[in-house]
Structure 1
Amino acid sequence: MSLTEPSAEEALALFQSVEKDFPKDLGDDKWYILAISSISAGGHPDLSANLYQYLISKPEFQTSKSRQALVRRLREALVKLVSVVGVPKPLEAIFSIARVERPEDRDYSFSREQWSSGPANLERGMGWLSQIYRHNHAATENTLACHKDFDWLSREITYGLYLSDHTIIGPVETELVVFSGIAIQNLKTETGWHLRGTRRIGVSHEDVEIIQQQIEKVAAFCGLTLNRIPRVKDIEHEVPWDSGA
């Protein structure tokens, strides 16, 4: 990894490139979810402030209300990112945004104030997990039968608390967070799972490949080499014919 910190100009050029090349048919409000997730997980969470400042320069974010809605989306992406990279990097990212927020733009809502563990949380978590893994989860359950803490963590926390809540960012955006956060760590097995999962929730083969290219672009910017992870063509045979994609 380069010892030279990237400049604000270099960060802006990266974000504009990801925005330009992100799949257009997924909408223009999702590219920055990939950007904040991958730049934070990739070791430059402080550049989340640069991303935020670029976004609020756009015409659609010229009111406090719109900027508050934006920061809720960025914050939710970072909360979800905790589930795959831990707390420190997402926390550093949110601190960087907080330092440049205008006082009138601060959003004091608390998305998980009413959250509790229990049957409803487990049902919601398993519902989303099942959409991503389908029949493949049986093998994971078998492996974790003798590592029950991780099975519990997956059901109740990773999926129950974090990933199954789609009230602020939706299913595709949630997978963008997870796919970005895992792939940029160069993790072979879990990247394959979420290439497959992204296809299973309806993102096309072509768009998944473009998404991965944007993650690789951010990784190169961060000085990271992604040499272990599969591509969508490698897992396509695992996506059922009735995936809807």
Structure 2
Amino acid sequence: MSTKPTKEQVEALFGKVEEKFSQTTLGKDRWYLIAIPTLIVFVPEHGATLYTYLINKPEYSTSELRQALIRRIREALLECISIQGVCKPLETLLGISQIEREEDKDYSFSRERWNVGPETYQRGKDWLNTIYKHNQISTDDAFAAHKDITFVNYQITYGFYLSDMTILGPIETELVTLSGIMIQNIARLTGWHLRGIRRVGVSKEDVELVQQCIELIAKFGNIKLENIPRVDDIEHEV
């Protein structure tokens, strides 16, 4: 949009995305995992609007339920740091923290005991092997002369951020990852994660609907997604 969207316009967008996502078989409580990594790219301040939109629903009518919700939102934003950088996820969470009621705040610390080391590397490797399978060999080969990138990929991007399934599971993590990459109009990695989300069990039909949800948000933000593959384009690789 040429000007900053209003709260009402963003809420209307949420309704459209929610309705589109309801056509999938992925359940009604995951659509916002697409909205988070896409919306924060152009209007991170409206993360607070998303939070308010969600907690006004009957399924989040108690503090305990709202605490569970913010854990999932926080984890999605943490994963976004690994694929989009730190500033916009932080801006989003700061906005939410300003409107949270004290009784709804969650003080748990999911990665309190995390350390760089063999276990972290193995978690990263296991998750990479899940979504990349045999393709991981060629990816590692591409970075053979850039070992710092390989270290970050295994130990940090995947070992720290994306392989922790204590709050968001494999499908949810791939929803965040795919959405966060596609909204940046990165064709190659979008293809890799269209393939990856298929490999964790999401049907081809549901992946197409997920992409349509991302495109709804991109269009709203005047973000052009050019030369981005579709699930049919990568299906032969799955």
Please classify the TM superposition score into its range, dividing by the shorter chain length. over 0.9
TM-superposed deviation, 1:3 = 3.1
Matches within 5 A, 1:68-83: 68-83=67-82
Counterpart in 1 of 2:223?
A: 224
Check conservation: 2:24, 2:209, Cα contact below 8 A: no
User: More displaced, 98-107 or 202-211?
Assistant: 98-107
1:28 matched to 2:28 = yes
Letter in 2 for 1:114: R
TM-score by length of 2: 0.98
Instruction: State how far apart, in whole Å, the 2-side matches of 1:9 and 1:56 are.
Output: 16
Matches within 5 A, 1:62-211: 62-211=61-210
Instruction: State how far apart, in whole Å, the 2-side matches of 1:125 and 1:141 are.
Output: 13
User: More displaced, 126-135 or 16-25?
Assistant: 16-25
Instruction: State how far apart, in whole Å, the 2-side matches of 1:131 and 1:149 are.
Output: 22
TM-score by length of 1: 0.95
Instruction: State how far apart, in whole Å, the 1-side matches of 2:130 and 2:6 are.
Output: 40
1:39 matched to 2:49 = no
Check conservation: 2:81, 2:89, Cα contact below 8 A: yes
Which secondary structure state, in structure 1, belongs to the residue aligned with residue 25 of structure 2?
A: helix
- Runs (4+) of structure 1 exceeding 6 A deviation are none
TM-superposed deviation, 1:107 = 1.0
Letter in 1 for 2:102: P
Instruction: State how far apart, in whole Å, the 2-side matches of 1:19 and 1:193 are.
Output: 25
Instruction: State how far apart, in whole Å, the 2-side matches of 1:55 and 1:65 are.
Output: 14
Instruction: State how far apart, in whole Å, the 1-side matches of 2:91 and 2:2 are.
Output: 19
Which secondary structure state, in structure 1, belongs to the residue aligned with residue 223 of structure 2?
A: coil
User: What is the CA deviation profile of residues 5-47 of structure 1, one whole-angstrom value per residue up to 9, with x for unaligned ones?
Assistant: 101111001111111111441111110111111111x311111
Which secondary structure state, in structure 2, belongs to the residue aligned with residue 26 of structure 1?
A: coil
User: More displaced, 222-231 or 72-81?
Assistant: 222-231
- Please give the root-mean-square deviation of Cα atoms over the aligned residues, in Å: 0.9
Counterpart in 2 of 1:58?
A: 57
Letter in 2 for 1:7: T
Instruction: State how far apart, in whole Å, the 2-side matches of 1:62 and 1:143 are.
Output: 49
Counterpart in 2 of 1:7?
A: 6
Show structure 1 runs of 5+ residues with no match. 240-245
Instruction: State how far apart, in whole Å, the 2-side matches of 1:232 and 1:26 are.
Output: 16
Show structure 2 runs of 5+ residues with no match. none
Letter in 1 for 2:192: W
Instruction: State how far apart, in whole Å, the 2-side matches of 1:138 and 1:124 are.
Output: 17
Instruction: State how far apart, in whole Å, the 2-side matches of 1:92 and 1:103 are.
Output: 19
Counterpart in 2 of 1:242?
A: none
Instruction: State how far apart, in whole Å, the 2-side matches of 1:99 and 1:120 are.
Output: 36
Instruction: State how far apart, in whole Å, the 2-side matches of 1:193 and 1:174 are.
Output: 14
TM-superposed deviation, 1:96 = 1.1
